[in-house]
Structure 1
Amino acid sequence: MILEEVRIKNFRGYRTETIIPISNLTAFIGKNDAGKSSVLEALEIFFNNSLVVCEREDLNINADNNQIEITCVFSDYPNEIIIDAAAPTSLANEYLLNENNRLEIKKVFATSAAKPKEKVFIICNHPTAENSNDLLELKKAELKTRATGLNIPQGNYNGNINSTIRQAIWASFEDLKLARTELLVDKEDTKKVYDTLKNYLPIYALFQSDRQSKDDDKEVTDPMKLAVQQALAELTDEIEHIKNEVRNKAIDTANRTLAKLKEMSPELANELIPEFKTEPKFDSQFKLTINSEDNIPINKRGSGVRRLILLNFFRAEAERLRNQHQGNQIIFAFEEPETSQHPDHQEMLIQAFIELANTGNSQIILTTHTPALAGLLPLESLRFIEKTVDDRNIELGTEEVFEKIAQTLGVLADPIPKNATAIILIEGKSDVTFLNHTANQLKNGGHLTHTFQEKRIALVPIGGCGNLKHWKTLRLVDQFQIPYCVLLDSDKGTNEEQKNIDTIADLVQSGIKAYVTRKREPENYIHLDCLQLPAGSTFTLTDTCDAKVLIANEKSTKKELILERFWTRMTAEQIREVEQYDDNGTTRYEFSEMFQDFINVI
């Protein structure tokens, strides 16, 4: 299931019901104490109520009652749910979806107790007509009595299956008077429905910025625990087989014991029935940790190292999910990911977030008040939180909000030389090396009329089109009143490919000179001769492989330095060889044509 919206009421600083849209990547931005962490912790309470537990003190001090309300709205819910094993039903058939055909679940915590217990409601567009509004709360015998009282023929339903009796009753009404209803899921089939839905809820993993430093530091153990949960999820069939085998063998032993007991005390034996009380919890049986090779515990290392491990857990997840395109729906909630990290690592983390968010398997929610990080975030992901007199206000998606975020955090546009005649927006710093070296070589080889320096075209890394830094930079470009162009990696073969193609198509439609690379990224164009591979090497690159990783592993160098180390060895002839492609029988040269088009913008 995909989380689309969260609503918070009477929780800490949130007094009135605050509606917060959630996307694949959602970033909460605001000053300290604005209420960013409260949103993440409200979700932790909703999904787990363990790392953060709902307490009496969480009630807003100006609340008009003693109830904390946390509501989540989901799409992509299961098409079928099992209440009666013999007859699957659906949320729609049971009138358990809201007016927008979404699954809406509200949890209410009454703070009259020191440790408030949750009450769960499904908010739905449900029948309210008399004799139709309480069917999910009735037992089988009560449903049959209701059907008989409404003169519904027994042939219209299966008396052994509750859902068919309900459908027959509902079908007998001319007007069910559907209305928004808070359905308490505390008994009979309402409880069965929610018990089923719990298996489909996303895994919610919250990583806080202020961790305690102890041997079982959750900053390290949480992602490892999550890794165990994911591994078990992929072995569901095998685990179910083990459960059934254990259950059958254990019950067989119990039955043989009762058979012997029957010989001595038939009355007692007849009263006893073997029954499993609880399902085994396999995830608690597996412990996974990481030690350094000299056996220094991770919690004894610096905070930057500990969080760097967490950073690379995200990057590993991005790679795994990108390759598999499957797995559990997971919500990663990360509070202030910039804590204790070098700016380069922050940029890598954001890239990992974006990759994870585009897999379809994960949603990312984070908080930040760091300009460098906020500037890299996509505009559609931003949620600006402001503290009012006795409440919180959340805004998104307008020019005024983007300006407010930029001013609050101090996000600055990338510098543009005052004598610049145009700019080319590119993704990263290494792309500056790529464009300049390519243009210089092609100009020297007679394939370009000018270099970018000769035309005073500024190359500006902005991390990707559509982020806050890009928006801020374009506002600066508007002041210069000079044209701009865009070059993005195609990310061919990844989940971001279509998004990049669509972005470029929109820019071109607006009259902007904009391109994506035909191969995945610039590293995929590196001529193998420039890698100076040993004789007999079978190393090769494709258009869609992760060339950065492959080359870095082959040459024992950092991924970030690949273009600086190896692209700068490329000659004009080698560039022409790798940029050449066939276009319906016509030989074309990608960068020669693209760069000349950029140069012609002057």
Structure 2
Amino acid sequence: MILETVKIKNFRGYKTETIVPISNLTAFIGKNDAGKSTILEALEIFFNNSLVNCEKGDLNTTADNNKIEITCVFTDFPADLIIDTANPTTLQNEYLLNLQNKLEIKKVFAATAAKPKEKVYIICNHPSVDNGNDLLTLKKAELKQRAKALGIPTENYNGNVNSSIREAIRNSFENLELEETELLVDKEDTKKVYDTIKTYLPLYALFQSDRQSKDDDKEVSDPMKIAVQQALSELNTELEHIKEQVRIKAIDTANRTLNKLKEMSPDLANELIPEFKTEPKFDSQFKLTIKSEEDIPINKRGSGVRRLILLNFFRAEAERLRAQHQGNQIIFAFEEPETSQHPDHQEMLIQAFMELSNTGNSQIILTTHTPALAGLLPLDSLRFIQKNGNDRTIELGTEDVFEKIADTLGVLADPISKNASGILLIEGKSDVTFINHTATQLKNGGYIAHTFVDKRIALVPIGGCGNLKHWTTLRLIEQFAIPYGVMLDSDLGTNEEQQNRDKIQELRNNGIKAYLTRKREPENYVHIDVLNLPAGSTFNFTDTCDAKVLIAAEKTSRKQNVLEDYWTLMTTEQIREVERYDDNGTERYEFTEMFTDLLSIVE
């Protein structure tokens, strides 16, 4: 399932019901005490209520009642659910979806005890007609009795399947009188419905910026718990087989016991029915941790090291999920990921977040105060939170909001020379080296007439296209009133490929000269000869692999320096060789043609 919206009411600074849209990547930005962390912790209470517990003191101080409400709305729910002993049904057939045909679950905590207990409601467009509005609360015998009382022929339903009896009863009414209902799921059979739904809910992992340091530090243990849960979800078929075999053997033993009991007390034996009360919790049986070679617990290391481990957990997940679509949806909530991290690591973490958010398995929610990190975030991910008296407002998606965020955090465009005649927006600083060396070599070979330096076209790194840094840079370009073009990595073969294509097409539709590399990124064009590999080496890389990682590993160098170290060694002939491609029988040269067009923005 995918979390689409969270609604918060009477929880800390959120008095009136506040609706918070959630996307694949969602970033909350605002001043201190604006209410950013409150949203992350409200979700922790909704999904887990363990790392953060709902407490009496969480009630908004000006609330007009004692009920804290946290509601989540989901899409992409399973087509079939099994809520009645191996017999599938659907949320639609059971009238458990809201007016927008989405799954809406509300948890209410009455702040009358120190640690309030939750009451769970499904907000749904549900039958209100007499004898048709309580079917999910009835057991099989009660459903049969209801069907009989309504005069429904037994041939209209399967008497061994609750969902079949419920469907026959509902079909017997001319008008079910559907209305929005808060369906309390506390009774035996309605609780079974919710227990089934819970197995499909996303896993939620919250990583806080200020935590106690202890042996089972959540910062390290939670990713490992998620790893165990993921492993179990991918082995679900095998686990279901084990559970079924255990059930069969255990019930067989119970039945043999009852048969013997019948010999001594038939009446008592007839009253007893073997039944499993709870599902086994396999995840609690596995403990996974990480230690250093010196057997030093991770929590005894510095906070930067601990969070660096967490950073690489996300990077590993991005790599794994890029190629896989298995297990439950996971929501990673990260409070201030920049804490205790070098700026290079912050950028790597954001890249991992963006990759994860595009896998189809994961949603990322984060808060940040750092201009450099916020500048890398896509515009559609940004949520600006402000205090509004005793309440909060959340804004997104407009030019005014982007300006507020840029002003609040101090996100500035990179400086542009006042004598610049044009601007080329690119992704990173290493791309400056790539473009300048390529242009120089192609000009020396007579393949292009000018370099970007010749035409005073400034190369400005802005990260990806469509992020906050991009937006602020464009505002600056508008003030300069000079032409600009865009050149970005295609990320060919990754989950970002289509997104990048769409962004470039949008720019082209607006009359901007915009290009993507044909291969994944500039490092994929490095000529194998400049690597000076030993004789007999079989090292190679493809157009879609992570070439900078492979080259760095082969040459024991830093991946960030691959272009500086090796592209600058490329000759004109080598550049022409790697840029050549076949276009339906026509030989073409990618950078020669691309640069010629981009250079034409300045007459």
TM-score, with length taken from structure 2: 0.96
Q: Over residues 288-343 of structure 1, what are the superposed CA-to-partner deviations in whole Å (9 max), with x where a residue is unaligned?
A: 22222222221121111110100000000000000223332100000000000111
> Paired residue for 1:440?
440
Q: 1:105 to 1:263 in 2, by over 3 A?
A: closer
Q: Matched residues in 2 for 1:119 and 1:370: separation?
A: 38
Deviation for aligned residue 1:247: 4.5
**Match of 2:221, as an amino acid?**
T
Measured in 2, the distance between the counterparts of 1:129 and 1:248 equals 40
Code of the residue aligned with 2:494 in structure 1: it is: T
Q: What aligned pairs does 1:51-70 form with structure 2 within 5 A after superposition?
A: 51-70=51-70
CA separation of 1:150/1:270 partners in 2, compared to 1, >3 Å: closer, same or farther? closer
Q: Match of 2:573? A: 573
For structure 1, the residue ranges without an aligned partner over 5 or more in a row are none
Residue aligning to 1:180: 180
Partner of 1:157: 157
> Which deviates more from structure 2 when the two are superposed, residues 27-36 or residues 246-255?
246-255
Shift in Å at residue 357 of structure 1?
A: 0.1
How far apart are residue 2 of structure 1 and its match? 0.2
CA distance in 2, matches of 1:60, 1:447: 69
Q: Secondary structure at the match of 1:508?
A: helix
Q: Does 1:476 align with 2:476?
A: yes
Q: Who is 1:335 aligned against?
A: 335
For each residue in 1:337-365, what CA deviation from the matched residue of structure 2 results, as whole angstroms up to 9, or x when unmatched?
Answer: 00001111111100000000000000000
- Distance in 2 (CA, whole Å) between partners of 1:183 and 1:156 is 27
Q: TM-score, normalised by structure 1?
A: 0.96
Q: Are the aligned partners of 1:580 and 1:589 in contact in 2 as well (CA < 8 Å)?
A: yes
Alignment of 1:365 onto 2:369: no
Structure 2 CA distance for aligned equivalents of residues 285 and 89 of structure 1: 31
Partner of 2:390: 390
Report the equivalent of 2:599.
599
Q: In structure 2, what is the equivalent of residue 206 of structure 1?
A: 206
Change (3 A) 1:438 1:468: same
Q: Is contact 2:144–2:165 with CA below 8 Å preserved after alignment? A: yes
RMSD, aligned α-carbons: 2.0
Please name the residue that 1:532 is paired with. Answer: 532
Are the counterparts in 2 of residues 107 and 119 from structure 1 also a CA contact under 8 Å?
yes
Distance 1:264 1:143, change over 3 A: closer
User: In structure 1, what residue type is equivalent to 2:201?
Assistant: L
2:313 matches 1:313: yes
Q: 1:493 to 1:304 in 2, by over 3 A?
A: same
Residue 280 of structure 1 and its aligned partner are, at CA, apart by: 3.2
Residue number in structure 2 paired with 1:43: 43
Write the deviation string for residues 15-43 of structure 1: whole angstroms up to 9, x where unpaired.
00000000000000000100000000000
1:56 partner amino acid:
K
**2: CA distance between counterparts of 1:68 and 1:276?**
34
Please give the alpha-carbon distance, in whole angstroms, between the structure 2 residues aligned to 1:166 and 1:234: 33
Q: Give the equivalent residue in structure 2 for 1:422.
A: 422
Instruction: Report deviation, 1:126.
Output: 1.3
Distance 2:558 2:224 in 1: 26
SS at match of 1:182: strand
Check conservation: 2:201, 2:328, Cα contact below 8 A.
Answer: no
Distance (whole Å) between structure 1 residues aligned to residue 345 and residue 95 of structure 2: 48
Letter in 2 for 1:169: I
Residue in 2 that maps onto 1:220: 220
Contact 1:120–1:185 (CA<8 Å) still a contact in 2? yes
Give the SS at the match of 1:351. helix
Native 8 Å contact 1:128 1:176 kept in 2: yes
Whether contact under 8 Å (1:71, 1:105) holds in the other structure is yes
User: For residue 231 of structure 1, what is the amino acid of its counterpart?
Assistant: A
1:179 CA displacement: 1.6
2 CA distance for matches of 1:267 and 1:69? 48
Q: Secondary structure at the match of 1:587?
A: strand
What's 1:349 paired with?
349
Secondary structure at the residue paired with 2:293? coil
Deviation at 1:245, TM superposition (A): 4.2
Comparing 440-449 with 263-272, which one deviates more in the overlay? 263-272
Matched, 1:292 2:292: yes
The one-letter amino acid paired with 2:80 is E
Once the 2 structures are TM-superposed, how far is the Cα of residue 263 of structure 1 from its aligned partner? 8.6
Task: Give the direction of change, closer, same or farther, for the CA distance of 1:275–1:165 in structure 2 (3 Å limit).
Answer: closer
CA contact (8 A) 2:200 2:328 kept: no
Q: Count how many residue pairs are aligned between Structure 1 and Structure 2.
A: 602
Q: Give the aligned partner of residue 493 of structure 1.
A: 493
How many Å separate the matches in 2 of 1:173 and 1:473? 62
Counterpart Cα distance in 1 of 2:231 and 2:553:
27
Counterpart residue type for residue 424 of structure 1: L
